[in-house]
Amino acid sequence: MKKFMLIISIITFAVCNLFAQKDLETCRPQSSTYWTGRCDLYSKHNGEIKVGLATGNKFRGWSKFDISNIPDNAVINSIILKFWVNDPTTDNHYLIITKVSSNPVTASYSTLWNQIYNGTWYAEQYNCGLTTGYK
């Protein structure tokens, strides 16, 4: 069975605020339990974000970011998401960013799976291509 592995590594926010304190803020998931991971209808896994086909009982991945360094009065002008693709296939090479309202660190596998699968889309499908590497 071929797999697509997606590791979201960095989100860069272009930020400006009233006091021009920051122009750019880089946010990464913490190296802590369940800040990144994957789940299906039966289990929850820590670490790599492995995902599969858009239908059926395939892995759904998540990544949690701490954005507390961004000032409260900041205006987000743009967001750049960088991620690593390993072992892409023609069957599963799309990235869809959805809202997860639960904390992935404490949420159950079924809660996460359903929120990722049925969540509000923040980004349209992105064809990751059929090459390994940063996207």
* Ranges of each domain in the chain: 4-134
The burial class, CB within 10 Å (0-12 / 13-18 / 19+), for 3 is middle
What is the value of pTM for the model shown? 0.70
CA gyration radius, the chain: 16
| Residue pair 35/64 in contact by the 8 Å Cβ criterion | yes
Parallel, antiparallel or unpaired: strands 44-46 and 24-27? unpaired
Q: pLDDT at position 5, please?
A: 41
pLDDT in tens, 98-122: 888 899 999 999 999 888 888 888 7
pLDDT in tens, 69-95: 788 888 888 887 777 777 676 665 667
Parallel, antiparallel or unpaired: strands 60-63 and 133-134? unpaired
